[in-house]
């Protein structure tokens, strides 16, 4: 297990927008085996994603951060209050680049999100995960997340919840 301390810094979208798109697309590959759902049939996915990310970062400062290991960006977290209940946090993205997965860094991302949501006054957090992404499911369950079952609007993903 890796013990290096990671840093979490707000995304510099002007400088790193291509990296954000790359990370988000790869997360779809991990979840669904393809990035087609991200890019959408008309190819507008990355543009819409960057608009959403810019808006989110303006509305909720420090909610979208890059994960730094020394001078290298190795991941990204996107967080917000859940649209159905503002006392619940919602993780839109936990992402580590492939070469840094499985080294114990995910626990620091999980802790960063928990700390962020607790500062907002949230008592729990939710996220989506594809049950076919066995590595992610194992990680979340090991770190206190509970599988609430499939989403009503998208049976390919499950809601997971963690109480603080």
Q: How many domains does the chain have?
A: 1
- The answer to whether position 16 is within a domain reads yes
Res 37: pLDDT: 86
Res 40: pLDDT: 84
- The answer to whether position 2 is within a domain reads no
Query: What is the C-alpha end-to-end distance of the chain, expressed in Å?
Result: 24
What DSSP string describes 20-38?
Answer: HHHHHHHHHHHHHS-SHHH
- The answer to whether position 50 is within a domain reads yes
Going by the DSSP 8-state scheme, the letter that residue 69 receives in this structure is E
Angstrom distance (rounded) from CA 116 to CA 58? 16
Tokens 């020394």, located at residue: 70
Res 67: pLDDT: 98
CATH of residue 141's domain is: 3.40.630.30
- The answer to whether position 117 is within a domain reads yes
Angstrom distance (rounded) from CA 122 to CA 131? 26
Query: What pLDDT digit, counting tens, does each position of 110-152 carry?
Result: 999 999 999 999 999 999 998 888 889 999 999 999 999 998 8
Res 3: pLDDT: 56
What strands, in cross-sheet order, belong to the sheet with 154-163?
7-10, 64-69, 72-82, 85-96, 124-129, 154-163, 146-151
Name residues of the chain where pLDDT drops below 70.
1-3
Q: Tell me the C-alpha to C-alpha distance, in Å, between residue 138 and each of 25, 27, 59, 146.
A: 22, 16, 32, 11
Range of the domain at 98: 7-163
């Amino acid at each position: 297990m890796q013990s290096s301390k990671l840093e979490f810094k707000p995304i510099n979208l002007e400088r790193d927008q291509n990296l954000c798109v790359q990370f988000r697309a790869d997360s779809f590959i991990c979840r669904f085996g393809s990035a087609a759902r991200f890019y959408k049939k008309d190819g507008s996915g990355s543009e819409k994603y960057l608009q959403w990310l810019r808006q989110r970062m303006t509305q909720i400062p420090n909610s979208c951060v890059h994960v730094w290991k020394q001078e290298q960006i190795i991941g990204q977290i996107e967080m917000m209050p859940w649209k159905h209940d503002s006392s619940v946090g919602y993780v839109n993205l936990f992402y580590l680049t492939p070469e840094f997965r499985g080294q114990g860094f995910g626990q620091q991302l999980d802790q960063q999100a928990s700390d962020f949501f607790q500062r907002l006054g949230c008592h729990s957090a939710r996220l989506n995960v594809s049950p076919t992404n066995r590595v992610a499911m194992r990680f979340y369950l090991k770190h206190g997340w509970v599988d609430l079952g499939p989403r009503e609007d998208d049976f390919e993903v499950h809601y997971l919840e963690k109480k603080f």
